[in-house]
Amino acid sequence: MTATPPSRRRALRRVFALAGGAALVRSGVAQPATEPRVIEMTAHRFAYEPNEIALRAGERVVIAIRSLDFVHGMNIPDLGMRLDLVPGRVTRLELQPKVPGTIDFVCDNFCGDGHEEMHGRFIVSA
Amino acid sequence: MQRRDFLALTALGGGAVFASGLAGCASRADGMAGAGNSDFYFVQLSDTHWGYQGPANPDAAVTLRKAVAAVNALPAPPEFVVFTGDLTHTTDDPVERRRRLAEFKSIVADLKVKTVRFMPGEHDASLDRGAAYKEYFGETFYTFDHKGVHFIAVDNVSDPGAKIGDEQLAWLRADLAKLDKQAPIVVLTHRPLFDLAPKWDWATRDGAQAIELLMPFANVTVFYGHIHQEHHQMTGHIAHHSAKSLIFALPAPGSQPNRTPLPWDASAPYKGLGFREIEAEDAGRALKVTELPVVRA
């Protein structure tokens, strides 16, 4: 995950406070009693599949992402995080959104003619 | 006709004039090699996307040539022209990429301007880290001075992750270290250096570091492309001006769910497309931006 400048971190803390969202990537997370729901996703030129994922507020999930053809990016500006999706690896993104809403994500590694159409969103319901 | 009179006329005739930064640097010219006191103007063209085929511009095969003709028809020739990236539309095929770059270069060779400077966009350079681009246009980042103004071309596209990168940032730091804090500086780049719309990938991942390096300088203006529309924003005292495209227009940042091109309007061809003049007065004391259309109504 890319380091975020202090000013941006402050802004993102505000976003988190407003959205009540939570997102963690891979390690450093205390293991809770129940396992999170795992949602598999693929990334390929020029789409995420699925590109709309329904979540429930408060639910812990892991998005397990496989890139099939390129080091695609996954930038989630509202959560202040981004990932490189390296082919041959499974990149795990842990989320626990707290309130309903929409969280957009976009490929931010230019991947060719169609890159601009590579985006998706998490739709969080109550 | 004086240059100022001409600008006033173009403003009345439909071109928008935007006065930009670089104020308060009247005493700056003395310390810079080759500095002079002459006013001058240059032209910025951007996002020509040579090779694009699609409904957003059914005239794509001739739009660039019309833009070249429009620049050549200016009453007074600019002292130089700069293309701020996405000269060509991207392709996976390295042979086709080179063909597009060569065709683009051949077309713009008709510009009746002594000096034409180029920069890559992600469509030109991201898929091969600038290899083909360099074969035709040379280095992707560089500096030059013109009549007392220091120009810095910053490459934020050769890395497909939209990064300037540590090496180039070190180069930028070293270049800036040679300048007086009052020196007029114009930065040319492709992507916005600030987070204009990260949800649309309209940002530079480490652009904040470049802005931080520029902040100690009193007179800095940034001209960029990428977003296919005129846009003006300040980060502190630094003005950032994006240019219109010469292929298709894009929606205002965040104004709709996706960044899909605005549809071609057959009743108003070339609507939303254009190029701009930037006039530097009194050795960079002020910059005046004038937007011009590809074709006159």
* CATH number of the domain bearing residue A73: 2.60.40.420
CA distances from B122 to B56, B92, B132 (A): 19, 13, 12
Interface test with A, best of B155, B199, B262 (most A CBs within 10 A): B199
Mean pLDDT, to the nearest integer, of B97-115? 98
Nearest residue of A to residue B158, measured between CA atoms = A110
Number of domains in chain A: 1
Mean pLDDT, to the nearest integer, of B144-152? 96
Whether B42 has a pLDDT exceeding 50, the answer reads yes
Q: Is residue A51 part of a domain?
A: yes
CB-nearest to B205 from A2, A71, A111 is A2
Q: Is the CB of residue A6 less than 8 Å away from at least one CB of chain B?
A: no
Decide if B111 contacts B44 (C-beta within 8 A).
no
- Report CB contact under 8 Å: A112, B161: no
Q: Is the CB of residue A58 less than 8 Å away from at least one CB of chain B?
A: no
**pLDDT at position A9, please?**
43
Strand order in the sheet with A52-56: A52-56, A119-125, A101-106, A72-76, A81-85
| Mean pLDDT over each residue of chain B, to the nearest integer | 89
Instruction: Give percent above pLDDT 90 in chain B.
Output: 83
Mean pLDDT, to the nearest integer, of B219-231? 97
**pLDDT at position A34, please?**
81
Decide if B120 contacts B50 (C-beta within 8 A).
no
> In which domain, by residue range, is B224 found?
3-292
The interface pTM score, or ipTM, of the predicted complex is 0.87
Mean pLDDT, to the nearest integer, of B231-238? 97
CB-nearest to B208 from A5, A109, A111 is A5
- Report CB contact under 8 Å: A119, B160: no
Count how many Cα atoms sit within 13 Å of the Cα of residue B197 in the half-sphere of its side chain. Answer: 16
The two structure tokens encoding residue A40: 């598999």
Q: Is residue B143 part of a domain?
A: yes
**Token pair 């020509």 is at which residue?**
B48
Number of domains in chain B: 1
**pLDDT at position A19, please?**
35
Minimal C-alpha gap between B200 and chain A (Å)? 7
> In which domain, by residue range, is A18 found?
6-125
* CATH number of the domain bearing residue B254: 3.60.21.10
CB-nearest to A113 from B91, B157, B161 is B91
Helix axes of B166-177 and B207-214: crossing angle, nearest 10 degrees: 10
Q: Which residue has the higher pLDDT, A56 or B34?
A: A56
Interface test with A, best of B133, B169, B201, B227 (most A CBs within 10 A): B201
**Helix-strand-coil split of chain A, %, nearest 5:** 15, 45, 40
Rg of chain B in Å (alpha carbons): 18
User: Closest by alpha carbon to B140, among B181, B178, B166, B168?
Assistant: B168
Kind of pairing between the strands at A47-49 and A119-125: unpaired
**pLDDT at position B257, please?**
86
**pLDDT at position B295, please?**
86
The two structure tokens encoding residue A125: 């319901």
**pLDDT at position A33, please?**
59
Instruction: Give percent above pLDDT 70 in chain B.
Output: 86
- Report CB contact under 8 Å: B201, A104: no
**pLDDT at position B18, please?**
54
Alpha-carbon torsion A30, A36, A39, A40, what sign?
A: positive
Please enumerate residues of B whose Cβ is less than 8 A from a Cβ of A: 89-92, 122, 126-127, 157, 160-162, 195, 198-201, 203, 205, 208, 258-259
Contacts of B122 in chain A (CB under 8 A): 110
The DSSP bridge partners found for residue B19 are: B288
Q: Is residue B151 part of a domain?
A: yes
CB-nearest to B199 from A8, A71, A77 is A77
Q: Is residue A102 part of a domain?
A: yes
- Report CB contact under 8 Å: B92, A112: yes
CA dist B28 and B183 (Å) reads 6
Decide if A103 contacts A21 (C-beta within 8 A).
yes
CA dist A113 and A118 (Å) reads 10
Q: Tens digit of pLDDT per residue, chain A (126 long)?
A: 344 444 444 433 333 333 334 444 443 445 555 899 999 999 999 999 999 999 999 999 999 999 999 999 999 999 999 999 999 999 999 999 999 999 999 999 999 999 999 999 999 999
| Neighbouring residues of B206: CB distance < 8 A, sequence distance ≥ 6 | B163, B164, B165, B169
Q: How far apart are the first and last CA of chain A?
A: 29
Q: Is residue B219 part of a domain?
A: yes
CA dist B87 and A34 (Å) reads 53
Q: Is residue A24 part of a domain?
A: yes
Q: Is the CB of residue A35 less than 8 Å away from at least one CB of chain B?
A: no
- Report CB contact under 8 Å: B198, A77: yes
**pLDDT at position B204, please?**
98
Q: Is residue B297 part of a domain?
A: no
Q: Which residue has the higher pLDDT, B25 or B183?
A: B183
